[in-house]
Chains A and B, each alone.
Chain A
Amino acid sequence: MSNTDDLIANFAAQGAEPPPHVLRRFVLPLIAVSAISAAFWLLLLGEPFTAAERYGPLPMIAKWGFSLPLVFGSAYALLAMGKPGQAVQGRLLFLAIPFAAAAALLVVDLSNGGGGFPGETWDRCLLAMGTFGPLCFAGAIVATRWLAPTELRKAGAVAGIFGGSVAMSAYAPFCPELGMAFMTTFYILPILIMAGIGWLAGPKLLRW
């Protein structure tokens, strides 16, 4: 009997039933890092959404309108990318929509004079993105490693988008800053940097 036959006999004895809680094992790391990020700011800064009392709900809608589709869209894309042979182009294209919308809003905002840049709390925002972005990226890497991604650079980049967008979603309710220039510089740019890091590190971090 050859080594390959031995291998087959060994696997056949183990059975083909997949291990339990497949989806749960993918989702749990994503939920864990999201919960940690949200809980940290809640405990540190207290009541969220206080800026809405002064500026109304629109700034918050713009921030979450950008970040939450990216959070759910990137998680959904990672789930497909981790299953060999599944089509993922549509899910990846979906991730471009928030960026395109933000770019359009930036143009409109700048043509109206912009303003609100760099704001008074830009350093706190940068700190939030710089610390929780990598943490949430790590959660996405752990989740994706449980699956079997075959395009490691793309999956790494999407994990980076997940990390950055969760960091943004968690901090945004405590962010009093306005304006698309601020959002582009201190939220969108860090998310793109995280995606770039994921693109570069994906082949090392996700290899299986």
Chain B
Amino acid sequence: MEQGDRLDLLMQRARNGDAAAYRQFLSLAATRLRSALARKIGNDGELEDLVQEALIAIHQKRHTLDPGRPVAPWLHAIARYKLIDHWRKRGRSPVLHEDADLAVAEDEFATLDIDALLAELPQAQAEAIRLTQIEGLTGSEASERVGIGLSAMKLRVHRGMLRLKELVAEDEK
């Protein structure tokens, strides 16, 4: 099961009053946030502050997650906002140049069965999308892991996303 699905499941149980599930949800969210944010700011003393800021925001703004909506896009949007705020406070550019080419609308495929859709793509494209859009790796990190160039990785993501859109459109007909 993907972590995104697990977050959804835990949040659903938490909203039904299961405090242990909410604790698990927050712990898993913290782990994912720590991993994603460490790639942006390094693993220094500020990382844990930023993780905590994001957790506070997640808890205080939990009413902005509509019931039934997937948690991952919401979680990452909050983390991105807190990261940009962190950079802004320190006078650094918030622009994620490398990520910009790989960005997609968070909500675009939010309600779909991503695994089923990815299974219909060529393996290389599915892997590229899984690494950059689900695991949250940067283009460089994903290309390094697969052992190809950054441009090739971007191309795989781009072609894969186009194919996914076609598949979604076919499903809707």
**A residues apposed to B, CB below 8 Å:** 2-4, 7-9, 11-19, 22, 82-87, 89, 147-148, 150, 207-208
Note all chain A residues with C-beta closer than 8 A to B20: 12
Alpha-carbon distance between A19 and B78 when the two chains are bound, in angstroms:
19
B15: Cβ under 8 A from any A Cβ: yes
B39: Cβ under 8 A from any A Cβ: no
Alpha-carbon distance between A43 and B167 when the two chains are bound, in angstroms:
58
Given A9-B23, A150-B78, 16 additional A-B pairs, CB 8 A:
A8-B26, A8-B27, A13-B19, A16-B15, A16-B25, A18-B63, A83-B66, A84-B64, A84-B77, A84-B78, A84-B81, A85-B78, A85-B110, A87-B107, A148-B57, A208-B57
- Are B63 and A19 in contact, with the CB atoms below 8 A? yes
- Are A11 and B61 in contact, with the CB atoms below 8 A? no
Alpha-carbon distance between A85 and B65 when the two chains are bound, in angstroms:
9
Number of residue pairs spanning A and B whose beta carbons lie under 8 angstroms apart: 90
Note all chain B residues with C-beta closer than 8 A to A9: 23
Alpha-carbon distance between A86 and B75 when the two chains are bound, in angstroms:
11
- Are B80 and A8 in contact, with the CB atoms below 8 A? no
Note all chain B residues with C-beta closer than 8 A to A82: 64
- Are A8 and B23 in contact, with the CB atoms below 8 A? yes
Note all chain B residues with C-beta closer than 8 A to A16: 11, 14-15, 21-22, 25, 62
- Are A85 and B55 in contact, with the CB atoms below 8 A? no
Size band of the interface chain B makes with A:
35 or more
Note all chain A residues with C-beta closer than 8 A to B27: 8
- Of B51, B56, B80, B108, the residue contacting A87 (CB under 8 A) is B108
- Are A14 and B52 in contact, with the CB atoms below 8 A? no
- The contact sample of 21 A-B pairs, CB cut-off 8 A, is A2-B48, A3-B52, A4-B51, A4-B52, A11-B22, A11-B26, A15-B14, A16-B25, A17-B15, A22-B63, A83-B65, A83-B74, A84-B77, A85-B110, A87-B105, A87-B108, A148-B57, A148-B64, A148-B81, A150-B77, A208-B61
- Of A14, A85, A86, A147, the residue contacting B59 (CB under 8 A) is A14
- Of B17, B66, B76, the residue contacting A17 (CB under 8 A) is B17
Alpha-carbon distance between A88 and B11 when the two chains are bound, in angstroms:
24
B140 CB, min distance to chain A CBs, angstroms: 24
Most buried by B among A4, A7, A14, A207: A4
- Once A11-B59, A208-B61 are accepted as A-B contacts, the answer to whether A89 and B105 lie under 8 Å apart by CB is yes
B106: Cβ under 8 A from any A Cβ: yes
Note all chain B residues with C-beta closer than 8 A to A89: 105
- Once A4-B48, A9-B23, A11-B26 are accepted as A-B contacts, the answer to whether A85 and B62 lie under 8 Å apart by CB is no
